[in-house]
Chains A and B, each alone.
Chain A
């Protein structure tokens, strides 16, 4: 009876789900250490993308590389860690906030909104506008504006002036653009000639 039980328990152990390398199930000879680790782990595991093994303190040392975050390792001062974390959060939150501007199109009954932060350059933005409004905008040239198309994208800048999209560097554009307007070709030609 006992043999049967041990046989079963061996098999049960073999099918047990654990984190750790296969074959590394010998008990650790190292003493329990860094008991503070569990509270630290729960703090640090929030920022970890990999699974952390909060329960298996003992096996940590015998089965490298374990996925447990150890107290004070790697040896980076918390000042430095915190600073980088704050920076990451700030930039994340800025990204999340987005930069939504209204887009109007001449003749369309209602306006749309797009997030300028999602794009990194003009072609991407124009592509998106073309898709949104089902039209073609054409290629930008400094001399002639958007030639070969019925529409021209324009924007209102922070001074209240209407400008042709594409004249200024992208970085400057997204910081000064207040709203977009897709003008009809006839009106747009007037803009390009200026």
Chain B
């Protein structure tokens, strides 16, 4: 594989290349020369603009003829600092060795889409000046209990290396990683300038770990915990933030389901003049919310806690605070969320901010269409709307009537079961497609759907990049015609030329996959569940979709022959997940043998031996490191 070759070449080059910075003495390598300049790097660029020391007794022409590459490299580094997109940087690094080197020295944002694709040491070895790290661990289907716990994706090995390699590290973003309190302690201690910690769908730590972060990261600007499990160690982490004015800009802890010290929180908010984003957990009452809002009218993003009165508060006999005034005072508010345990009467308090809202998340609020309408009819600028299906088709019609700027819609089920009567259907989808023509992303859970509505969306919403439809009843056909949902999804891939992410559901034959393979040329992520008839389905996709990077399949009749048809493509993919399909161990073994840079994991459920011929779960991904050493007992890595 390409990376392998370049690793070898790098060492050759180091021997061959003449020294750049003569101040450093005899024969330093290029890398060391860079470090010797000792300048702090900001952003993604290098700041070495003049490396020609005045004391060097070399004529200009001699310098030029001896070290032409180095001048070019300096220029290159200065130019490359303007490249921020990692895809652009990846492309630049493949031009030639010197570009590879220059890019490696100037990359400051490290993105690792699969923490097992590359080892921490290898990453550190190539990129010497990193300020920001994004690490993703488990595959998405792990969120739905399809993977036993303790599978892996440990942050521990990474944080150790990062602590040594990047003392100037400022940002860490982790998704689906397993993190311990000790990891967070090490993080907090190792980076004096640490600014941003974002943890999405992570687990393994508790409020103890948060305490380390709060107390030791004095420059902390962002602490965002999103859908992350945090155990209650009964530590008052909120009160451990440093005294005096903080740098806090964003504090999101709605998923931390522990009681918090409200007085400490109030004081924290009061001494955080830069705070723009605040999302509270359900243990913060609406009266407490009021007090916080009064202290922070500059907020742009607000997530409420419990949104309704408590009886205890009533009996205390205080008059109700003026919630409307509090909201009205937040003139910069553009994003509202939370609304847990909602008392719908109190929704009227948010009317003053509706006109400015670009994002509204009601996905934890069990409100009806009638309760939604007076709010949504004012939200003309809304771009992102998340809700529960309790708003019904009627609520969606109201959204379609007003929210002409809508870019992203997510409708979640209140009742996540298969056989209930659903409150939203093809009617809601049709209405949205007609009213919200700029829609780019949709996630829609429903019990019934028709091809006609999906086709309508495909022709009305030509900006669609993400189409995720979940018809909750498995194998459910078109509600009106009884046909499979092939034509609907076919129309989506055919008409929506910008589509990069697709999730299918309902009764689907191989024909649907034929359409996807034929038209889905930009698709990067595809999710399939309970669909297809035969190997042909998967073959169409693997042979037809050149940009496919993430493919997750469950409970579909695809077997070894289909798996083989993707051999030409697996190195271009981040991963393939197939669970409860028709793969045999031998079939998976063949793949492992044919592709040495692929890690082929066979995962069985915790409690049993693999007795059946069919593999329960196949998870395979490209990697430079070979089989990982931290695989638990229920994972077998095939060779």
Contact = CB atoms under 8 A, between A and B. Distances in A.
Interface of A: 30-36, 40, 48-50, 61, 64-65, 67, 69-81, 83-84, 86-87, 90-91, 94, 158-159, 171, 175-176
Interface stretch (B68-76, B80-88, B412-420, B531-539): B412-420
21 contacts: A31-B582, A31-B613, A31-B614, A32-B612, A35-B605, A36-B607, A50-B419, A61-B555, A64-B475, A65-B473, A67-B419, A70-B555, A72-B145, A74-B470, A74-B472, A76-B144, A79-B227, A79-B229, A81-B416, A84-B364, A159-B317
Nearest to A31: B614
A72 B364 contact: no
Contacts, number: 109
A49 B417 CA distance: 10
Contacts of B363: 80
A84 B144 contact: no
Interface stretch (B93-101, B104-112, B308-316): B308-316
A42 B530 CA distance: 22
Contacts of A94: 311
Contacts of A34: 555, 580
> Looking at A36, A40, A69, A176, which has the most chain B CB atoms within 10 Å of its CB?
A36
Nearest to B616: A33
Given A35-B608, A176-B314, A87 B416 contact: no
A70 B417 contact: no
Nearest to A87: B341
Given A83-B364, A86-B282, 15 more contacts: A31-B612, A31-B613, A31-B614, A35-B605, A50-B417, A64-B474, A67-B419, A71-B145, A71-B146, A73-B418, A74-B413, A74-B445, A77-B144, A83-B340, A171-B345
B341 A73 contact: no
Contact of A70 (B366, B414, B474): B474
A175 B315 CA distance: 8
Nearest to A175: B314
Contacts of A72: 141, 144-146, 554
Given A31-B582, A83-B340, A158 B317 contact: yes
Given A69-B417, A79-B255, A175 B309 contact: yes
Contacts of B555: 33-34, 61, 70
B537 to A, nearest CB: 15
A108 B488 CA distance: 70
> Looking at A76, A91, A158, which has the most chain B CB atoms within 10 Å of its CB?
A76
A65 B473 CA distance: 7
Interface string B473-502: 111100000000000000000000000000
A158 B315 contact: yes
Nearest to A178: B315
Nearest to B343: A171
B459 to A, nearest CB: 27
B317 A74 contact: no
A65 B474 CA distance: 7
B614 A33 contact: yes
B542 to A, nearest CB: 22
A31 B282 CA distance: 43
Contacts of A33: 555, 580, 614, 616
> Looking at B144, B317, B364, which has the most chain A CB atoms within 10 Å of its CB?
B144
